[in-house]
Structure 1
Amino acid sequence: MVGAVSTLRERVDEAQLTLDLPGVESARTTRDALLHQLDDYVLPRLRSLDAPLLAVVGGSTGAGKSTLVNSIVDAEVSQSGVLRPTTTIPVLVHHPDDEKWFLDDRILPGLSRTRGARATDEGESGSTTLRLITSRSLPPGMALLDAPDIDSVVSANRALAGQLLAAADLWLFVTTAARYADAVPWDLLRQASDRGTAIAIVLDRVPPEAMADIRSHLASMLREQGLATAPIFGIPEAELNPEGRLPENDVARLRSWLTALASDARARAVIVRQTLAGALASLDDRTTVVVDAATAQADAVTELGDAAHTAYDDALEDVEQGVSDGTLLRGEVLARWQEFVGTGEFFKQVESTVSRVRDRITAAIKGQPAPSGDLGEALQSGVAALITAQAQGAAATTVRRWRQLPGGDALVAAHPDLAKPSADLPQRIERMVRDWQGEVLDLVRNEGKDRRTTARVAAYGLNGIGVILMLVAFAHTGGLVGAEVGIAGGTAVLAQKVLEAIFGDQAVREMARKARLALIGHVQTLYAEEQARYDEALAGVDVTKDRAERLADAAAAVKAVR
């Protein structure tokens, strides 16, 4: 059982509920409470079944908890008074012989220890400190812990009170004649009933003449909540003695009951096992809440990740289309190609007289190389602009989608740089296009190794042939309309014929295919790097479906050995 519960504790701790999803606050509260009870009570008690019984004195503001503890041990061990809250640092009172059980972090490991009688609380935090006080008025085997108010105006005190009650073997629940029917105490009592926690009720400050009626009504309410076996100790309204304690006769019955319980190992074991069994049984429902929340977190992370992947996949697809449908042959590229091959009149004659085109190609090859720099720059700028525009669109699409998805808006707020592409993207794109142009030139060199082909390449120049090959790679005209189709068609025919005259038609098709694939491969890598920024943001959430599944398996393992 210890091994199974220890594994469950590890799995609950792993189940980080980082994303701000609907309902996550309640799930986080359940997870934190579950961790506290496993650390503060279940594991310590499983490892030390013979440790002293811990009775936590809890209740509403002004119920007289500290006064009751002081009266039971007949010493001022816990601060009492009219100012609220009075108990800000919990006080644990135990017999000197039981000191070893409480000095270390066996129970309540998240609280530091301070020892000795009450002093100033300055510099100490109630949410992180536990004061240990020894008293021979308590028999060995029993410890009392005075907790903060369950309805304190200080939220940290309320949270600590709930944590301490969850660490108890026995609740000594203090209420008053005026407040015994209040909603807040009964919410906690119902939780105790659901979890099988052992409870004793102290009905404080009851007018003597109303004791029977109020006690009867309270007993009826307890029966309705499944707490019929909880003993009720009535303490009549009375003046405190000069030491600020209750009259001896009023606490004698309660003290005798606690003493008898501490002295009876079998009775203590019954209470311990009742509360421990209830705590173990309560793990199922609470773990299910955390499992469901962790699964929702993992699903949300997957959906956010898919949104980023889809945006960049679409961007890559648009680039693929843009480099193969003739879109890049618009405007500046067309003008520079016209300059490259000759006059406007010649360019217009391309479609009408293919034979004349071939003549001009032959003449061009035999003549001086044409200037290719402007055309190459135009192509480079067009490719870079296409890749940049799609990257910007992918970033904008991802962020827009994230803001619509559960948990995404907070991630965008935490990572504002994700709203735009990387700051160095333009430089990376420029470098990538240059690298690709270099690869195109390598294709030309590899195809032009024989002497005759080398001479023809030299006529146009290596750079010129490389530029023409880039043009051919982009020369499909599906993306153009109207007059552009005719122009681009002529461009494609002429560029194709130039290369075929040098390398042959099959070689040209293969070179154009390799050039286009090389460019798409570079863009794919670039976009993967951009998209990885979103994956990194999601990795910081530290949520996976595997963790939810491991938590469910750990809960099932505890149930199997319970």
Structure 2
Amino acid sequence: MSSTIGTTPARQGLGGRLAAVARIVELGSGRIDPKTLTEAGQLLLRAGDRLKLSSEHTVVALAGGTGSGKSSLFNAVSGLELSPTGVRRPTTARTHACVWGLDGAGPLLDWLQIQWRHRFARASALDKGESGLHGLILLDLPDHDSIRALTDHEADRLIQVADLVVWVLDPQKYADASTHRRYVTELAGHDAVTVFVLNQADRLSPEELSECVADLGDLLRREGVESPVIVPTSATTGRGVGDLRAVLADTVARRRAAIQRLEADLERLVGRLTEAMPPEEVPPGAVSVDDARRIGLTDALCDAVGVPAVGEAMENVYGVRSAEWVGWPYARWAARLRPDPLASLRLNDLKDEIRGLTGGSVSAQPAEVDNAVQALSDGLTAGMHESWREAVRDAARSRSAQLPQVLSEELTEVAPRLDRVPASWRLLRVWQYLLVVLFVAGVAWVGTALLYGVFEVGEIPGGLEAFGDAASLPWVGLMMLSVLGLGLLTAVASRNIVVLGAAAERERLEREMRRRVTAVAESMVIEPVERELARCNEFYAALRAVRG
């Protein structure tokens, strides 16, 4: 025997690593190769089934091609003629099992799908001196190069689930390409649960046997088997059978083969996952959407729906319309005698136009909305694996078709009512007309005083003597000038107050519209993106956990 099975310490946390594989299968759908996911799912099923079954038994499969002497070796190890031998092809059509210690092995043999008539138990009398093999389930598999598809499939299935695989090779075909390509290469990394037997050693001289063992070792190492265990045997003469039994007894005694096989399968899966999804770190900032990108998305969406334009239009219109209510009436009446410069503003239609900014024009700007969403996803996924970058991009755009319409509906609800007249405007208008009435009264007083007190055109009507006194003219003129000044001062002050109020209203409007845009962006863009980012991070965490 060129070497013995390695005693690599058991890797801790197999259950945790398998749980991580389950998370990878759950999270990796659509992100990694379906074939790799299928393999991971099959490993989980196999591990779950095997770990529930007898841990006191070790399943050892003798695998090999036709003519390798596999069945003869099976009989030699078991000490009984249990499996048919000969030159007929294929010799072994069904798997035979020899069990050392049948108690508790039934469910495991059922799981292995070994037919009842092909199960054999070593009687206690025959087991005398072989207590080291207690717990061994030795399988003689159908020839893997069988011309019968059924038996070939059965060999493949049992090679995948056996705790330890013993490859039985013969000196003439030990380098057979089909065996190495289909099985040995695939089982690279399974050193602890793979043994190679060079059978029919009696056909070689000692020098030839040494050369064959060395050549086979070199070949296996080139194929990824770092420390191959090679046992030369002869089923005919019994040479090396004791060494093979010792290897099997050591494996059975440690009760670790089942776990080691699952760990080896897990390592192979890790290699494929690493190849499919390199172990790059998730870029900083990709755990969630940071505040800067949230603000950037809101800014871009506000620009896309014209929030600044709506606010500016509202402020301008309020300023123009306020002149109708708080301006000095005489100035307004005088302006009517001149061409109206505001006619070009089409004030009657302005409300509809501004509402259009938060309505129809939003749906007319899907490209700008899409660009804003695209910029967010591109910034978050820089350096990510392509599959996750595409997944985050799809999540960001998952509701992009509805986004413009939703923005339109939200902003239409807060679009300014341009025909609304604040109560303060009405009060100021009443005050202005009160001043107009006082001024008109003053004019009437002056006229009466001139007619009856200065020009004495006749007798002043009874009860109006005070209005006809010429001495009152200076005081009435002073009152009229005061009324005019107060009216002008009120108009200017009111105008300034309205302008300041319009600016404040614009800020309030833009703040409310921005709040609504932020809420829509949060629910329709950021939340789907953060769910995908969380999925990505959970996937990488599971990948790190399964790597151990």
TM-score by length of 1: 0.55
2:353 paired residue number? 378
Cα distance, 1:379 vs structure 2: 1.2
Deviation at 1:201, TM superposition (A): 0.3
Q: Deviations over 1:161-208 (max 9, x none)?
A: 55335x22xx3211233321245656866867874346250425x8x7
Query: Which residue of the other structure, out of 295, 300, 307, is the alignment partner of 1:318?
Result: 300
Residue 99 (structure 2) aligns with:
95
Q: Which amino acid aligns with 2:212?
A: L
Letter in 2 for 1:543: E
Shift of the alpha carbon at 1:232?
Answer: 1.3
Aligned residue in 2 for 1:299: 282
- Counterparts of 2:284 and 2:71, CA distance in 1: 48
In the TM superposition, residue 34 of structure 1 has moved relative to its aligned partner by: 7.3
Give the distance between the partners of 1:508 and 1:75, measured in 2 at CA. 101
3-state secondary structure, aligned to 2:538: coil
Partner-residue secondary structure (3-state), 2:105: helix
Distance 1:436 1:150 in 2: 76
Q: Does 1:406 align with 2:415?
A: no
Instruction: Look up the match of 2:14.
Output: 5
Aligned-partner residue type, residue 230 of structure 2: A
Q: Secondary structure at the match of 2:230?
A: coil
> Aligned residue for 1:129?
none
Structure 1 counterpart SS, 2:199: strand
Q: State the SS of the aligned residue for 1:231.
A: strand
Spell out the pairing of 1:97-496 with structure 2 (5 A cutoff).
97-104=101-108, 111=111, 113=113, 115-117=115-117, 133-136=119-122, 140-147=134-141, 160=157, 163-165=160-162, 167-168=163-164, 171-182=165-176, 195-197=191-193, 199-203=195-199, 210=204, 215-221=209-215, 224=218, 225=221, 230-234=230-234, 250=236, 267=250, 272=255, 296=279, 299=282, 314-321=296-303, 323=306, 326=309, 359-360=331-332, 374-384=349-359, 385-386=361-362, 388-389=365-366, 390-394=368-372, 406-408=386-388, 411=391, 421-437=399-415, 440=416, 448=423, 452=427
Question: Which entry has the higher C-alpha Rg, 1 or 2?
Answer: 2
* Residue 522 of structure 1: how far off its partner (Å): 1.0
SS in 2 for 1:98: coil
Q: 1:453 to 1:512 in 2, by over 3 A?
A: farther
- Cα distance in 2 between the residues matched to 1:251 and 1:60: 20
The match for 1:526 among 520, 534, 540 is: 520
Residue 513 of structure 1, CA deviation: 0.6
Q: Measure, in 2, the Cα distance between the counterparts of 1:361 and 1:99.
A: 113
Compared with structure 1, are the counterparts of its residues 289 and 511 closer, same or farther at alpha carbon in structure 2 (3 Å cutoff)?
same
> Aligned letter for 2:213?
A
Confirm or deny: 8 A CA contact 2:98 2:121 kept in the other structure: yes
TM-score, structure 2 as length reference: 0.56
Conservation of the 8 A alpha-carbon contact between 1:92 and 1:143:
no
> What's the CA shift string for 1:412-470, capped at 9, x where partnerless?
99x7x976754544542332122112xx459978x7479726979xxxxxxxxxxxxxx
Residues 431 and 113 of structure 1, relative CA distance in 2, 3 Å threshold: same
What is the percentage of aligned positions where both structures have the same residue? 13
Task: Tell me by how many angstroms 1:93 deviates.
Answer: 1.3
The structure-2 alpha-carbon separation of the partners of 1:80 and 1:451, relative to structure 1 and needing over 3 Å to count, comes to farther
Alignment-derived partner of residue 543 in structure 1: 538
Question: Residues 123-155 of structure 1, C-alpha deviation per residue, up to 9 Å, x if partnerless?
Answer: xxxxxxxxxx23448955321134577789999
| Counterpart mapping for 1:500-511 below 5 A | 501=495, 503-511=497-505
Aligned Cα root-mean-square deviation (Å): 6.2
Whole-angstrom CA distance in 1 between matches of 2:258 and 2:114: 28
CA distance, structure 1, for counterparts of residue 257 and residue 281 of structure 2: 36
Equivalent-residue separation in structure 1 for 2:49 and 2:508 (angstroms): 66
Amino acid at match of 2:515: G
Distance 1:148 1:410 in 2: 47
Matches of 2:15 and 2:216 in 1, distance apart? 34
